[in-house]
Amino acid sequence: MTTRVVAAVQRWLLGLMVACYVLAGVVPGPGEWLRGLTLRLPAGGAVTLPTALLAVMLVNAGLGVRITDLGAALRHPLRPALGVVVNALLPAVLLPAVALCLRSWPDPQEAEALLVGLMLVLAMPIAGGAATWGQNAGGNVPLAVAMVMGSTLLSPFTVPLGLRLAGFLVGPGGTGGLDDTARLDRLAGAGVGMFALASVVLPSLVGIALRTWLGERRIAPVLPAVKAVNLVNILLLCYINAAGALGQAVAHPDPDLFALALGVAGAVCCLSFLLGRWMSAWTRCESPDAISLTFATGMNNSSAAAVLASVWFSHRPEVLLPVLSYSLLQKITAGAVGGLPDTTAAHPADPRAAPRRTGAKKPL
């Protein structure tokens, strides 16, 4: 029963995400209340509900990683290293061009909000969904998993570096897209590294450790429940993160800004995928490796970016617009590249799952 429900939700995931966005715009109150909930930790300190949901989602993602997959990919370390490096350098490669294009926009504050939102999402590690979408397109799943985990483990270093480098390139000393990078400098200096360690790296490692401890035989029966929890988390985070930004957009409509956020996020998303394709062609990757590299370059952890934006830029909800747009558009682009996810397949790292390789599915 759980498997059938999960398959149905996966089949309609994009539509359900759009429905969550619409609900957040029309009825933002519960989402804003949920976003403000704080969970007190027994050892002291507190975490917000979105941060806790993100951690649970990444624990579940870690449960899908097999150590044997990582070992197989790391026998040839240059290829996963290439994917991690290319993804980490995306802010420095793409944002200066976006800043130049936005210089003619009449409202510099709106242009600045778009740049900051894109900067946050591009600085995040590779999304775990890159392995799932890549598998569906016939990619090398162990390679994709290795790139996801490598990017995740290095995120406490690469995310601050990406923000600093991008801030320098598009700040007053660069293209001038940002008039003031003080908040970004503070975020890169103290906040985002700890955020990546506590909210991204540690939950992922907990999931991997749990799978290793339980073993393949005991983990297999719980994977449908893990998928179900992840889907609930994805949709709930969509609603909570969108409540502030889209509630404001509906209350004070600005169609030009909304269209610009969609257009810029869509262009950057497509360029990210195309950059992955170009890199795979330049390095003469075999087809499965090329597909995995393309998806790893094109997909970033937008959920983590949305949580970070809602915490550090709650005073500027329009920063969330490009993050939310990118979150939806990268899934649409991935679907156009690799087709809809195979909802009847096992977990990407499940030993029963095998990549589908057909003549109709080609990399970008």
Q: Is the dihedral of CA 353, 355, 357, 363 positive or negative?
A: positive
Instruction: Considering only residues 307 and 74, tell me which one the structure prediction assigns the higher pLDDT.
Output: 307
User: Which residue type, as a one-letter code, is found at position 198?
Assistant: A
pLDDT tens column, 49-64: 888 888 888 888 777 7
- Determine the pLDDT at residue 174: 63
> Is residue 78 within a helix (H) or strand (E), and if so which, with residue range?
helix 78-88
Contact 301, 125 (CB under 8 A): yes
Q: Which residue is associated with the tokens 């300190």? A: 45
What is the CB neighbour count within 10 angstroms for residue 124? 30
Strands (E), 4-113: 38-40, 46-48
Strands (E), the chain: 38-40, 46-48
pLDDT tens column, 122-173: 989 888 878 777 777 777 878 888 888 888 888 888 888 888 887 777 777 6
Q: Is the dihedral of CA 310, 312, 317, 318 positive or negative?
A: negative
Contact 166, 91 (CB under 8 A): yes
- Determine the pLDDT at residue 43: 65
Distances (CA, A) of 254 to 76, 110, 183, 243, 258: 50, 11, 25, 16, 6
Contact 351, 272 (CB under 8 A): no
User: Which residue type, as a one-letter code, is found at position 107?
Assistant: D
pLDDT tens column, 225-271: 888 888 888 888 888 888 877 877 777 778 888 888 899 999 998 99
pLDDT tens column, 170-217: 777 666 667 666 777 777 776 677 778 887 888 888 888 888 888 878
Distances (CA, A) of 73 to 29, 46, 98, 140, 141: 46, 37, 34, 9, 9
Distances (CA, A) of 219 to 2, 177, 216, 324, 342: 16, 48, 5, 33, 21
User: Of the candidates 241, 246, 348, 258, which has an alpha carbon nearest to the alpha carbon of residue 303?
Assistant: 241
Domains and CATH numbers, the chain: 49-338 (1.20.1530.20)
